[in-house]
Chain A
Amino acid sequence: MGVGDAVKNLVIRNLSKTYFDVYAGTQVTAVRDVSLNVPESEFISIVGPSGCGKSTILNMIAGFIPHSSGEILVGGKPVNGPGPDRGVVFQSFALFPWRTVLENVAFGPKMRGVGKVEREKIAHEFLALAKLSEAAGRYPNELSGGMQQRVGVARALANEPDVLLMDEPFASVDAQTRMTLQEELTRIWEAKRPTVIFITHDVAEAVFLANRVVALSKGKVLDEIEVDLPRPRVWDDLHENEQFKSLTARVLQLVRSA
């Protein structure tokens, strides 16, 4: 990668976060000295038990909360505040209830000043990618949880972000739907090749999706594990795959040992 190139990579150096807990009146350190290097078009999963600081890291990258020390660079530029270069998919969907599905997906382009006809074209394209074309005119509350989250993904992607940040996006849908969504996400990733940070506490999900799994515990990175499973990945193949099983077992052991 040459200097000055508009690359979509993400670099994190010695990142820490200390919260001031208003209710307890004390300081809480949630993330300690985390460093990560995510090249362009890589898919990274971060796994770890509840409360280990996964969301905190993601929120800092997204710019929702300030970091206490260290550096976050997206495409070489330091992060300060939320911005359209980083798309976010939320666990609770965070769709705008007062906007139709189409308008939700067109929101990012609208903010960029794209005209109505053009942005609806973009939105339709990404809705088609998420297999949601029929639902375009409906309101979010008229959709199932799985469909809502596909809107969430389409909305984040329609803005063509450098980095896609996903915080346990499939945690609140049922098991079957979750597997479908995971397969679709890998398909979409192969089509668009965004840089992705995917947060989950489900080890199998982390391995299934990622090129690299980062195990986190008590705010610290334990280890990083390469996943070189072939793509396209579908659950029917991987269920019996020995490499998948051993990788999953390794990550699980790592997370549990801490």
Chain B
Amino acid sequence: MTKRSFISALWFCAPFAVLIVLWAILIPYFDVNPRLFPHLTAVVQAGIEGIQDGTLVQHIGASLLRVAVGTLLALLVAIPLGVAMGVSPVVSTFLTPLFRFFSVLAGIAWIPIATLWFGYGFGAITFIIFNAVFFIVTYNTLLGVSTIPLHVRNAAASLGAGRWAMLTEVLLPGALPNIVTGIRTGMGFAWRGLIAAEMIATNVGLGYMLFVARDFYKTEVIVLGMIVIGVLWLLLDRLLLAPIERATIERWGMVQRA
């Protein structure tokens, strides 16, 4: 088991090793202007410097904090709201289009209005993340709860489940596949929204780091930032969100999908 996952991790990394070697050889070979694309060594050096003087850590910390706060707040509101609306077929039928509309709009499109309401800074950016996650998760929770078959709810009731047990034993687990998918999608939009918002509306964070570097043609910082952004999201998505999705949904056989 561990040996197999180790080998598959090796296979996963192998193509990157090739890419990095190519990068290390080709850029100096063709003598590419560092203002267009940086040398590998320059990026590594920028990384080490960023860690040593703490700026890189600070940017990463700021971005992650915003994502964590925004997402957490959104989930705290969205899941109870979605469940409450989903249990009534009348309410959920009526409100579905509304939440669909807002989940379509969620994220980046709110940047201008968010900066007006909250000013430039932590508030506006956290709001963007909140909003990207909130609408999509609410919509998905609503959908998930309203698609739990009536006879499953009836079964629980006839086995003696009260309101609280109905919520924790039936409604939440039944909607969980949808909720997890919603969180994954919502966070995908939120992560991109975060980078965009940080370019516009703040003075710390990964997006800001990229955008400022562009002013000075510091391509090594830009590329470093891109790599950090990619790695962070990959870790978040593959190590946290996707496994949860797989562990619950596939084993339960509730959704068969990629």
Which A residues fall within an 8 A CB radius of B? 62-64, 81-84, 86-88, 90, 92, 94-99, 107-108, 111-112, 139-142, 155-156, 159
| Closest B residue to A165 using CB positions | B158
| Closest B residue to A113 using CB positions | B160
Per-position binary interface string of chain B over residues 117-159, scored 1 when its CB falls under 8 Å from any chain A CB and 0 otherwise: 0000000000000000000000000000000010110111111
**A94 and B253: CB pair below 8 A?**
no
A74 → chain B closest CB, angstroms: 12
Asked if B165 is at the interface (CB within 8 A of a chain A CB), the reply is yes
Q: With A107-B169, A141-B252, A142-B253 in contact, is A94–B160 under 8 Å at CB?
A: no
Q: Which residues on the B side are within 8 Å of A97 (C-beta)?
A: 252-254
**B154 and A139: CB pair below 8 A?**
no
**A108 and B159: CB pair below 8 A?**
yes
CA distance A140 to B157 in the complex (A): 19
User: Lowest 4 A-B CB distances belong to which pairs?
Assistant: A141-B253, A84-B160, A82-B157, A111-B160
Instruction: Known A-B contacts: A62-B154, A87-B158, A140-B253. Give 4 more (CB < 8 A).
Output: A63-B157, A63-B158, A94-B154, A98-B174
**A90 and B252: CB pair below 8 A?**
no
User: B160's contact among A95, A96, A108, by CB below 8 Å, is which?
Assistant: A108
23 chain-A/chain-B pairs, Cβ below 8 angstroms: A63-B158, A64-B154, A64-B157, A81-B157, A84-B158, A87-B158, A88-B158, A94-B152, A95-B152, A96-B155, A96-B169, A97-B252, A97-B254, A98-B248, A98-B252, A107-B159, A111-B161, A111-B162, A111-B165, A139-B253, A141-B253, A142-B253, A159-B159
CA distance A156 to B54 in the complex (A): 62
Asked if B47 is at the interface (CB within 8 A of a chain A CB), the reply is no
Asked if B173 is at the interface (CB within 8 A of a chain A CB), the reply is yes
Q: Which residues on the A side are within 8 Å of B176 (C-beta)?
A: 98
A204 → chain B closest CB, angstroms: 26
**A82 and B252: CB pair below 8 A?**
no
CA distance A83 to B158 in the complex (A): 5
A248 → chain B closest CB, angstroms: 30
| Closest B residue to A81 using CB positions | B157
Q: Which residues on the B side are within 8 Å of A62 (C-beta)?
A: 154, 158
CA distance A155 to B160 in the complex (A): 12
CA distance A97 to B158 in the complex (A): 17
CA distance A81 to B252 in the complex (A): 29
CA distance A247 to B157 in the complex (A): 37
CA distance A139 to B152 in the complex (A): 15
CA distance A90 to B159 in the complex (A): 12
User: A90's contact among B155, B170, B253, by CB below 8 Å, is which?
Assistant: B155
A65 → chain B closest CB, angstroms: 10
**A139 and B251: CB pair below 8 A?**
yes
**B154 and A82: CB pair below 8 A?**
yes
Q: With A98-B174, A139-B251 in contact, is A90–B161 under 8 Å at CB?
A: no
A37 → chain B closest CB, angstroms: 22
CA distance A67 to B251 in the complex (A): 39
Q: Which residues on the B side are within 8 Å of A156 (C-beta)?
A: 159
Q: Which residues on the A side are within 8 Å of B149 (C-beta)?
A: 92, 94
CA distance A156 to B157 in the complex (A): 12
User: A86's contact among B156, B158, B169, B252, by CB below 8 Å, is which?
Assistant: B158
CA distance A97 to B151 in the complex (A): 13
Q: With A98-B173, A98-B174, A98-B252 in contact, is A159–B152 under 8 Å at CB?
A: no
**A94 and B151: CB pair below 8 A?**
yes
**A84 and B253: CB pair below 8 A?**
no
B188-239 residues with Cβ-Cβ distance < 8 A to A are none
A90 → chain B closest CB, angstroms: 5
**A96 and B154: CB pair below 8 A?**
no
A251 → chain B closest CB, angstroms: 28
